[in-house]
A and B are shown apart, each in its own frame.
Chain A
Amino acid sequence: ELKVEQNPLFLSMQEGKNYTIYCNYSTTSDRLYWYRQDPGKSLESLFVLLSNGAVKQEGRLMASLDTKARLSTLHITAAVHDLSATYFCAGIQTADKLIFGTGTRLQVFP
């Protein structure tokens, strides 16, 4: 059964700094999703990575997928306070069942 692990679980970073969130998964997952969740809010889709080597960027966030290493990364460039949120990665089990990681809670401070 697919298991998804993220690290770190908590990340406190200063504005302007760069950092990477890691998402490891245990078995084959053809696709990898990243979601953002603000406190008390629903999940907002950030990226869908469909194939090995896929890289997608939106603003200060860049996601990549290495299916051979079973690893996805979410890189944050020059963090700003508005990026403070919890970030989840999710892999696909059979039949479109998303399996989520435990989330990375990001706090960006001045």
Chain B
Amino acid sequence: GAGVSQSPRYKVTKRGQDVALRCDPISGHVSLYWYRQALGQGPEFLTYFNYEAQQDKSGLPNDRFSAERPEGSISTLTIQRTEQRDSAMYRCASSLGLAGTETQYFGPGTRLLVL
């Protein structure tokens, strides 16, 4: 595809509900990253994958947050039992290779609002 895509773009949910956020990386990109961005702040790392393997999940705030990338392409970030403090912009990024010198290309984000 032309770029990283994310869906839904906006999600409003009630506290206690589960949500699933989807990321479709640039075709052929090996690495996929999830970040969270609060208003007026820089993105904060959550987790990342090389192919289907989750390499680092140290940024996930607690065990309500999980992510998967079962076939090494599309990824889903799931938040269980959402809380108001989970409200933020969730951004996905992808990069071409594993070398670590590659640029991370960001998607448009999913804005989550928990009421």
Interface residues of A (CB under 8 A from B): 4, 31, 33, 35, 41-45, 48, 50, 88, 90, 92-103
Contact = CB atoms under 8 A, between A and B. Distances in A.
Given A95-B55, A95-B56, A96-B95, A43 B43 contact: yes
Interface string B42-61: 11110010000001101100
B100 A96 contact: yes
A95 B103 contact: no
Shortest Cβ-Cβ A-B pairs, 5 listed: A100-B42, A43-B106, A97-B45, A45-B103, A42-B106
A99 to B, nearest CB: 7
Given A96-B48, A100-B42, A100-B43, A45 B101 contact: no
Contacts of B56: 94-95, 97
Interface residues of B, number: 25
A33 B103 CA distance: 8
B42 A101 contact: yes
Given A42-B91, A43-B91, A48-B101, A98 B106 contact: no
B41 A103 contact: yes
Contacts of B100: 31, 92, 95-96
A88 B108 contact: no
B31 interface: yes
B25 interface: no
Contacts of B55: 95
23 contacts: A41-B108, A42-B91, A42-B107, A42-B108, A42-B109, A43-B106, A45-B105, A48-B101, A90-B42, A92-B100, A96-B31, A96-B95, A96-B100, A96-B104, A97-B56, A97-B58, A98-B33, A98-B35, A98-B45, A100-B42, A100-B43, A102-B42, A103-B42
Given A95-B55, A95-B56, A96-B95, A45 B45 contact: no
A51 to B, nearest CB: 10
Nearest to A43: B106
A88 B42 contact: yes
B44 A100 contact: yes
A100 B38 CA distance: 12
